[in-house]
Amino acid sequence: MTTFNITFKDLNKSFNQHLLFNIPELTIESGRCCLLSGINGSGKSTLLKIMAGLETPNNAEIYYKNIKLDWKSACKQIHKKIIYLHQTPLMFDASVADNIKYGMRKQGYSRNKIQESVKMALQWADLEHLKDNNARLLSGGEKQRVALARAYVLSPEILLFDEAFSNLDTQGRTRIFEQICKLKDEGVGIILTSHELAHNTSLTEHHMHLENTHLKIFSKENNIEHFNNIKTPELILVNA
Amino acid sequence: MDSISTASLHAVYLLFSGDKELWNIISISFSVSLRAILFAAPLAVLIAFAMAYHRFFGRRVLIYVFNTLLSVPAVIIGLTLYIIFSRNGPLGDLKLLFTQDAMIIGQFILCMPLILIMSHTTFQSSDRRIWETARTLGATRIQAMLTVMYEIRFGLLAALIAGFGRIIAEVGCSMMIGGNILHYTRNIPTAIALETSKGDFSQGIALGIVLLVMAMVLNLSLSLLQGRGEVV
Ligand SMILES: Nc1ncnc2c1ncn2[C@@H]1O[C@H](COP(=O)(O)OP(=O)(O)OP(=O)(O)O)[C@@H](O)[C@H]1O
Ligand SMILES: [Mg+2]
């Protein structure tokens, strides 16, 4: 299995002359899970949105399959492979099933393929009983599952979860945690953000910390002590 | 008092007996205004979208220009178009003065800024996550734009209705460049103005009833639609 990877070099972003971050080099790849931490306002969401091609960086060199791409053509690659999930997901004013169909419809999949995938995704996310409900009327946790299923049907290479565990109770967290594990086993790359400087050891191989415009990167291979010292309170619950 | 009540009775009679002249005036009014909206709305909504979702040079100036246009009185627009379309005017050769086309142009200029400003406000306050979600799920820019429009459709509909309301009952501009020609450019407001000045209230009252009913139906259906779409 070839891994998908994309490298950003000299990535920087500022809002109104105020530098948010400046990252010399950053590679994201499929099949791995990475935690991105940083305090409120450090730029985690902005960084994820840039990775998903939703926000434009002030400067960036992008390498995909060892070829340097300009931002526009990189976006074309990114949009198909990397999906960003909002902290509080937005539901389109339509049924759960139609929400899940959205991406496949826009990308021109055949009717049969859509029907098949949606059925499978509804099952996967345990949403069959809600499939005809208006998605905007669901609870926060259910919306999160619809958002995940909506991304899952598109078989992305990388999923970017912005604060995947906030707004969820213990059961909801366990559920999302299990789904993330399954996704990872299927070879999907995952980046999770958290504003709590903490980390779960079983799920993630990398830890990135955004602080004062710098991004520190730790990997399990090289910084095992770092990994043993921090735990995410929210994930401890899951492991217990 | 007595004459008013007889006039009102006669107005109702005119409406329900299907008075040819009256219904001809009504149909001219609607056909002209609907065509004006048909041309103005797509353009206004597209510009509004671009102004809300893209930063380009001159954006603020555009907003200022359309806001100003919004507060220019209809007679001034009528006067300007009259001068332009009159025989010796710059576009006199087109022979547009006193035609329905001229009225459509006038009403277009009247309703475009209003629809634009109102839909711009709607786009501005729309949730950015709609666009972001659509894009990250693989929608093209145009598909994402249509998705945003669909999600805020009630706000856009309100803008259209306000635009329609501005021109359907507008008298100054229609009078000046339409000329109030019976069976051709006489519409509801110019007919009311004319008949009233002649002292014949019944036709005016009948036409007034039509406008009132239309306003009620439009606003009622809008609020019903909004009520149904009103979820978190
Ligand atoms: N469109 C924008 N225009 C101006 N400033 C912005 C914009 N978007 C974000 N910012 C600023 O950039 C900074 C980083 O925002 P971001 O949402 O990326 O932070 P975050 O790390 O995700 O925070 P949180 O933990 O609260 O989610 C904030 O100070 C914010 O005010
Ligand atoms: Mg954030």
What are the structural domains of chain A?
5-239 (3.40.50.300)
Instruction: Indicate whether A240 pLDDT > 50.
Output: no
Q: Which residues of B22-34 are buried (b: 16+ CB within 10 A; e: fewer)?
A: beebbebbbebbe
pLDDT bin (cut points 50, 70, 90) of residue B164 is very high
Give residue B62's pLDDT. Answer: 92
Amino acid at A27: T
How confident is the model at residue A112, as a pLDDT? 96
Segment B62-67 mean pLDDT: 93
B119 pLDDT tier (thresholds 50, 70, 90): very high
Average pLDDT score over residue span A209-230:
78
Query: Per the CB < 8 Å rule, is A137 touching B229?
Result: no
Higher per-residue pLDDT: B58 or B225: B58
Residue B200 to chain A, least CA–CA distance (Å): 51
The encoded tokens of residue B93 equal 């050769």
Mean predicted lDDT score pLDDT of chain B:
92
Question: Is pLDDT at A197 greater than 60 in this prediction?
Answer: no
Phi, psi (degrees; rounded to nearest 5) at B172: -60, -55
Residue A193 and residue A162 in contact, taking contact as beta carbons nearer than 8 Å: yes
- Residues with CB under 5 Å of ion ligand 2 are A 45
Please give the average per-residue pLDDT across B147-153, as a whole number. Answer: 96
Radius of gyration of chain A (CA): 18
pLDDT > 70: percent of chain A: 88
State residue A236's pLDDT score. 40
- Flag if B132 and A106 touch (Cβ within 8 Å): no
Taking every pair of Cα atoms in chain B, the longest distance, rounded to a whole number of angstroms, is 69
Tell me what pLDDT residue B231 has.
46
* A52 interfacial to chain B (CB closer than 8 Å): yes
pLDDT over 70 at B111, yes or no: yes
What does each C-alpha distance from B41 to A86, A126, B60 come to in angstroms?
33, 43, 21
Confidence of residue A92 (pLDDT cuts 50, 70, 90): very high
Strand segments, DSSP code E, in A30-156 are: 33-37, 59-64, 67-69, 82-85
- The residue whose two tokens read 């990189």 is A74
Average pLDDT, chain A: 87
Query: What's the token pair of residue A103?
Result: 């991406």
Q: Quick one: which H or E segment has residue B29?
A: helix B20-53
Residue nearest to atom 24 of ligand 1 (CA): A40
Binned at pLDDT 50, 70 and 90, residue A227 comes out as low
Would you call A209 helix, strand, or coil by DSSP? Answer: strand
What is the band of A110 on the pLDDT scale with cuts at 50, 70, 90?
very high
Q: In this complex, do A86 and B133 lie within 8 Å of one another by their Cβ atoms?
A: yes
- Pocket-forming residues, ligand 1, beta carbon under 6 Å: A 15, 20, 38, 40-46, 195
- The residue that leads in pLDDT, A217 or A63, is A63
End-to-end CA distance of chain B: 52
Given an 8 Å threshold on Cβ–Cβ distance, is A136 in contact with B231? yes
Give the pLDDT of residue A204: 80
Q: DSSP class of residue B73?
A: -
Amino acid at A203: L
pLDDT in tens, B188-232: 999 999 998 998 889 999 999 999 999 999 889 888 877 766 543
The pLDDT > 90 percentage for chain A reads: 56
What pLDDT is attached to residue A198? 47
Where does the pLDDT of residue A169 fall: very low under 50, low under 70, confident under 90, or very high at 90 and above? confident
* A54: nearest CB among B135, B147, B232: B135
pLDDT at A164: 78
Least confident range from A61-65, A218-222, B30-34: namely: A218-222
* Residue with more model confidence, A92 or A209: A92
Query: Residue range B99-104: average pLDDT?
Result: 95
pTM, rounded to two decimals: 0.90
Mapped onto helix, strand or coil, the DSSP state of residue A223 is coil
Residue B182 confidence (pLDDT): 92
Instruction: Check CB contact under 8 Å for A92 and B133.
Output: yes
Contacts of A90 in chain B (CB under 8 A): 127, 129-130, 132-133
Question: Binning pLDDT at 50, 70 and 90, where does residue A230 land?
Answer: low
* Helix/strand/coil for B172: helix
Ligand 1 mean position to A202 CA, how many Å?
A: 29
Our mutation pick for probing the ligand 1 site, out of A17, A23, A36, A42, counting the most ligand atoms within 8 A of Cβ, is: A42
- Tokens 């109102």 correspond to B118
Residue A118 has pLDDT above 90, yes or no: yes
B181-194 average pLDDT score: 93
In the predicted structure, residue A238 carries a pLDDT above the cut 50: no
User: What was the pLDDT predicted at A231?
Assistant: 54
**CATH entry 3.30.2130.10 includes domain B21-186:** no
- Please, which residues have CB within 8 angstroms of residue A218's CB and are 6 or more apart in sequence? A206, A207, A208, A209, A226, A227
Most confident of A104-113, A192-201, B54-63: A104-113
Q: Which residues of chain A are within 8 Å of residue B129 when distances are taken between CB atoms?
A: 86, 89-90
Read off the pLDDT of residues A94-104 as tens digits, 9 standing for 90 and up.
999 999 999 99
ipTM of the complex: 0.90
- Which pLDDT value is given to residue B229? 60
